[in-house]
Structure formats: structure tokens, C-alpha cells
Amino acid sequence: MKWLILIGLLIPVQVMAQSKTVLPSELSIEVSIDDNSVTPFTHEMILVTIRGIYGRHVTREQLIQPDFDGFSWAQLGPDSWSEERIDGRNFKVFTRSMAIYPVRPGKLTIGRFTHNLTLTDENDNWFGHAIQSEPLTIEVAEAPATAGWWFPVRNLKISDQWSNAPDQLSPGEGVLRMIRIEALGATPEMIPPMPELRSPSAMIFAHPEKRLVELTPEGPVTYAFWRWTIRPTNDTSGIVEPLQFSYFDTIEREDREVTISAQRIAYGTVSGQDASPQTTPRPPEALLPGWPAAMLAVAVFLIGVGAGMSKHRLIGWRAPARFSFFDPLAWQLRRFARTGQVARLRQTAAAMVLRDVVSETRRELIMEFDRRYFDPKASGLDLMDFARRFLRAGGYRASGR
């Protein structure tokens, strides 16, 4: 008997719940701002939540957004459905999170959201029903005047990374610098333009900027990557000048300055490292030259006679090096040119410049090499032609090796 009474009480409730008559307390939708305690500036992120509460069975649904006149916007992920118990009853809850950005100051209104629903009646037939949210007006202030780029963010993280130690470079080596920016609450177009990196004593080649965006419940997170290839232009150290820009902290409501410090770049031979202690070797015992030395003397004599007959003059102790056949670095230079090893070719050329008396022609050839190698817009390098011209500039005879 008790079960029959309970079933009799529940049947009218269920019938009424699925009837064609929809009560205002059964369906509702509203739009709210997550933090309305401050007046936002133009282009500042505002988090908005659309929340619907439904006490009826919903078969199908579609949410129609307003035009967002005066705003740009982004939806922060897919819509979510859940169940909540409110005042002793179970309700289905619909949630959509959005980030909106006012593009002009003044009073801006978020129009009505319309949720088109398909419900069922007491006969299990479908019928359409629509509910709307109330308009929401927001007061927006003009962004403060700044000398630079207006950049409002909730949180900003910056990292400065180098491909290798900038003050321990090998001769002729370049280094890649990458500055990574992570901005919460900013869309890609809000990031400041990539700055110009400057140095009075280094060659700097800028790479194309990259920007990515990730949508999170806290708002869009934009990642920007600024990259440069840097190489010293002389055999001493140089300084890459610092970078500066400002942003507006929307949490603390204040302007902040970012300074990325200057950086010293240098080859390892001039980096100021302490030289390892050296010991004076014991003088070798005096020995009379044997037959290998006699054969070497004969070979040098024959080379001198041949050079004299070909009208070449051999002056000083560097004269044998005029013949690339006897210079191992010249052999390496040609080999790296033939095999296309650009980095090894550049390092060998730099080693020859450091070893020999500096030639202005060789310095110009190396600078031309660097411009055409590091600049992505420059034409390709003819490595064999560079090797021939470089050796010829040092006094070597032309050779097809």
C-alpha cells in the first residue's frame, strides 16, 4: 500500500515535468562577468560565463550568440554539461566560457544570448522552446596614453635562451638567440612587434617571428618567439645591446617595464679564461742529423731551384707555405669546399687568418662569406670558388686540387 501511494504522488510530478507547459523556474540562462570590481580598459581581456539551468529533459539545443558590437571575442573551449542539485532537485547545467576584448571606450552592451531547446511533452512528443539571457552593459575606459605599445596582460613570462655559450664561441662560429614570451590574456596580435637587436661589433640576422595561441579556462595564452643569429665581426669580444618594452599588469592595475639585459659575445680564445699552467719542457739532447735530414735538405734544394727557374721568389721562413701542397690547412680548406661542409670550411679559413699575417682581401672574403651564409635572402655560396679566391689572396699559386 505504501508503494502505491508513493507512485501515485510521483506520477503527477513527472507528467507536469514533461508537459507542454514550461514554467519560468524550470529553464533559465544568464551571462555574468567573472570580475566586475574594476573598470576595464580597451583591449583588456574580460572573462564572461554563460550559464543555463534546466529542470526539463533537453533533446537538442543550440546557443545563438549576439553580434558582440564593440567587442572582439574568443570561446575558451567546448561547451560543458553537468548535473547539479539545487534546492533538493536535480538540474542539468550548461556552461560556456568566453574571453571578450572591448575595442572602444564607453558603455558597451552584450546582447541577448538565445538558447533554442527541443523539449518533450507528456506524450513524449518533441517541441521547440527558446529562452534568452538579459543584456549586460559594461563600462569601458580609454587605454592610458603610452609612449610604446599598449600591451595589457594578466601574466607575462619571458625567457632568454642561447644555442650555446655566447662568450665561448669557436672561431667563425655564430650563435642563435631566442627570446620566448608567454602572455596570459593576450591574443597574438596584441604582442609587441619583434624589436631590432643591435650591436656595434657583431653581425645580426633576424629570423621570421613565430606566434602561437593556446586556449585555457583562464583565457588565451599567446607564445611569441623572437630569434636572431649573431656572430662577432672581429677577433675580440662584443656586446649585444639590451632590449626593453612595457606592459600593463591587469591584476595589479599598474604599468611594468621589462629589460632583457645586454650580453657579451666572444670567441673562446679571447673570453678571458685562465690559461692552464704550463711547464717548461726539458731541452732535448743534441743529436747529429742523419740521412732523413740529408734527404730533406736535398728536397728543399730542388724545390728552390725549381722556384727560381719559374721566377718565384722565396723570402723568409714562411716561403714554403706559399706552396699549398705543404700546407695542411690549405688541403683541409679545399676538401671541405669539395664535400660541402660549410661550417668546417669557415672555421678553417678563420684558423688560417689567425695563423698568417692578416690580409685585407681575406678579411673581405670572410665577411662576404658570412653575409651570404647567414642571410637567408642572399644567393647561394660557391664553396670551391671561395676556396680558390681565399688561397690566392694569401699568396698561394692557383691549384685545381
pLDDT value of residue 286: 44
Decide which of 94, 116, 140 is a domain's last residue.
140
pLDDT confidence of 144, banded at 50, 70, 90? very high
Lowest mean pLDDT among 1-5, 35-39, 307-311: 1-5
Average pLDDT score over residue span 108-115: 97
Assess contact for 179 and 157: CB atoms under 8 A.
Answer: no
- 177 within some domain: yes
96 and 164 together in one domain = no
130 and 174 together in one domain = no
182 and 247 together in one domain = yes
130 and 203 together in one domain = no
- 292 within some domain: no
Q: Whole-angstrom Cα distance, residue 273 to residue 115?
A: 71
Residues 6+ apart with CB under 8 A from 124: 18
161-205 pLDDT, tens per residue?
999 999 888 887 889 999 999 999 999 999 999 999 999 888 899
Q: Whole-angstrom Cα distance, residue 374 to residue 227?
A: 13
Average pLDDT score over residue span 376-390: 80
Decide which of 140, 164, 188 is a domain's last residue.
140
CB atoms within 10 A of CB 271: 15
Q: Whole-angstrom Cα distance, residue 373 to residue 381?
A: 7
pLDDT confidence of 274, banded at 50, 70, 90? very low
C-alpha cell at 333: 680548406
- 398 within some domain: no
226-258 pLDDT, tens per residue?
999 998 887 677 899 999 999 999 999 999 999
363-380 pLDDT, tens per residue?
778 778 877 776 666 667
Give the domain extent around 342.
311-393
- DSSP structure class, residue 191: S
Q: Whole-angstrom Cα distance, residue 343 to residue 336?
A: 9
Rounded to 5 degrees, what are φ and ψ at 59?
Answer: -85, -45
- 113 within some domain: yes
* pLDDT above 70 as % of the chain: 77
pLDDT confidence of 346, banded at 50, 70, 90? confident
pLDDT value of residue 11: 43
Average pLDDT score over residue span 16-27: 79
- DSSP structure class, residue 143: P
Looking at the structure of the chain, the number of domains it has is 3
Residues 6+ apart with CB under 8 A from 314: 304, 307, 320, 322
pLDDT confidence of 330, banded at 50, 70, 90? confident
- 224 within some domain: yes
83-94 pLDDT, tens per residue?
999 888 899 999
More confident site: 398 or 334 = 334
Assess contact for 191 and 181: CB atoms under 8 A.
Answer: yes
Lowest mean pLDDT among 107-121, 158-172, 349-363: 349-363
Decide which of 269, 297, 327 is a domain's last residue.
269
49-74 pLDDT, tens per residue?
999 999 998 999 999 999 999 999 99
46 and 93 together in one domain = yes
170 and 136 together in one domain = no
- 12 within some domain: no
133 and 173 together in one domain = no
- 388 within some domain: yes
- Nearest residue to 251 via CA among 31, 32, 35: 35
- 280 within some domain: no
Assess contact for 269 and 355: CB atoms under 8 A.
Answer: no
- With the C-alpha atoms ordered 349, 355, 360, 363, is the resulting torsion angle positive or negative? positive
Q: Whole-angstrom Cα distance, residue 73 to residue 219?
A: 11
Rounded to 5 degrees, what are φ and ψ at 212?
Answer: -130, 155
- With the C-alpha atoms ordered 330, 332, 338, 341, is the resulting torsion angle positive or negative? negative
pLDDT value of residue 170: 85
More confident site: 155 or 267 = 155
CATH number of the structural domain spanning residue 106 = 2.60.40
- Nearest residue to 183 via CA among 149, 158, 208: 158
pLDDT value of residue 372: 77
282-298 pLDDT, tens per residue?
544 444 455 555 566 55
340 and 368 together in one domain = yes
Rounded to 5 degrees, what are φ and ψ at 292?
Answer: -65, -40
Strand residues in 135-198 grouped as ranges (E): 136-140, 152-153, 155-162, 175-184
